[in-house]
Amino acid sequence: MKTTVKYDLEVLKEEARELVKKGKIQRNEPIYALCKFIPGRDWVCVELELEENDFLLRDKIIDLLGNETWDNDE
């Protein structure tokens, strides 16, 4: 039995944040860059979720992340 992970927008944002933080992707890359880190069988669900939330695969990762909070460097 195959299980498909549900990728809601918040999960995608968190995944993108972690990949940016680890340096695996850059904020200026297209959202499509996430496909390298999400199993192929789940990518259709990701595309649908992005489409439902008015994101295009060519949009930048930074558009997906939106407002980020930064720790103060004091």
Give residue-wise pLDDT tens across range 13-30.
999 999 999 999 999 999
> What is the SS3 assignment for 60?
strand
Q: What is the structure's pLDDT at 6?
A: 73
Query: Side chain identity at 64, as an amino acid letter?
Result: L
Under DSSP, the state recorded for 67 is S
Q: What is the structure's pLDDT at 4?
A: 52
Give me the residue spans of the domains in the chain: 9-65
Give the span between the Cα atoms of 3 and 24, in whole angstroms: 26
Per-residue tokens: 23: 């340096």
The residues, any chain, with a CB within 8 Å of residue 64's CB and separated by 6 or more, are 12, 13, 16, 31, 55
Residues constituting the chain: 74
Could you tell me the pLDDT band of residue 34, with boundaries at 50, 70 and 90? very high
pTM of the model: 0.79
